Amino acid sequence: MQRLKAGLRKTGTGITTVFTGTRIDETLYEELEDALLMADTGVKATQHLLDDLRRRVKEAKATEPAAVKALLADALTDLLAPLEKPLVIGEHQPTVIMVAGVNGAGKTTSIGKLTRHLADHGQSVLLAAADTFRAAAREQLGVWATRNTVEIVSQEGGDPAAVSFDAVTAGKARGRDVVLVDTAGRLPTQLHLMQELSKIRRVITKADATAPHEVLLVIDGNTGQNALAQVRAFDDALSLTGLIVTKLDGTAKGGVLAAIAQERPVPVYFIGVGEQLQDLETFNAREFAQALLG
């Protein structure tokens, strides 16, 4: 919570200074609108929050800007609440989790953190290095695997769908709890690479008819509105089940979660708040709103 609070300070300060005045007037709402837009909350979510806030202020008969800030925290919590959902492991063995994202979003780091989180909860993990293009990516995942004492299935220059198939088959045979499939970073505009992702998904289903059980997109919270565009594109191509939002430490664009909640509410399973293994937190709407608004 402290790390999240510190991380969201840049986003939060712009919004909270709006409430330092003494009067609740149109200027306050206008400044708040600007601050929310600056924080990448997006036009729709900003409008929704302002309308909701005006209603709450009227109902509560609030007279102090400080009270309005508390009401905004409530409005934001309600908006973000649909994004709150725990990642459930154990309904299938293994639970197959496919992870996608654009280059540099923090996919491999998040997989390392997630592996550690799962291992801490007593789950055995098998990693599939389906990023067969970049030797460095395989090596990086290998480092995480060693650090987490988990197994890894990788294949130099192989077909990513084939590696995924092998990993799911091995996970089944070895009775692992979770198979995590890391895919190469790609842009939604690279159509052939998006098709390749769909192929990986299909081939995973061939190895296990019920899989993948989770299809996660890792997005960089620092990219603001662009992250929302990524959610839309990857969701259209892959039917996402969840998100991991990274780099929420030190961002000025934390409002993007509100935009996602408003426009494409894919659950946020985890948030990344640093580069270390332990810097992964489950997403909680109230905590996030409070961390943001101080």
Ligand X SMILES: Nc1nc2c(ncn2[C@@H]2O[C@H](COP(=O)(O)OP(=O)(O)OP(=O)(O)O)[C@@H](O)[C@H]2O)c(=O)[nH]1
CB of 202 to ligand X, least distance (A): 21
Count CA within 13 A, CB hemisphere, residue 137.
25
Which residues are at the interface with ligand X (CB under 6 A)? 101, 103-109, 137, 185, 246-247, 249, 272-275, 279
Cβ neighbours, 10 Å, residue 103: 12
**Is 132 annotated to bind ligand?**
no
Does 183 show up as a binding residue in the annotation?
yes
Instruction: Please say which residue, 160 or 274, places its beta carbon nearer to ligand X.
Output: 274
For ligand X, the closer CB: 113 or 213: 113
Written as six digits, the tokens of 25 are 């007037």
How far is Cα 52 from Cα 83, in angstroms, rounded to an integer? Answer: 18
Nearer to ligand X, 109 or 115 (CB): 109
Q: How far is the CB of 275 from ligand X (least distance, A)?
A: 4
Cβ-in-10-Å burial (0-12, 13-18, 19+) of 122 comes to: exposed
Q: How far is the CB of 113 from ligand X (least distance, A)?
A: 8
Tell the smallest beta-carbon distance from residue 160 to ligand X (Å).
13
**137 annotated to bind ligand:** no
**Contact in structure between 256 and 11 (CB atoms under 8 Å):** no
**Exposed e or buried b per residue across 235-259, where buried means at least 16 C-beta atoms within 10 angstroms of its C-beta:** bebbebbbbbbbbbbbbbbbbbbbb
Type of residue numbered 244? I
Please tell me whether 251 is known to bind a ligand. Answer: no
Q: How far is the CB of 137 from ligand X (least distance, A)?
A: 5
How far apart CA 105 and CA 112 sit, in angstroms, is 14
Question: 44 a known binding residue?
Answer: no
Nearer to ligand X by Cβ, of 273 and 289: the residue is 273
- Tell me whether residue 48 or residue 134 sits nearer to ligand X (CB atom): 134
246 known member of a binding site: yes
Neighbours of 156 (CB within 10 A): 8
Binding residues: 101-108, 182-186, 246-249
Which residues are known binding-site members for GTP? 101-108, 182-186, 246-249
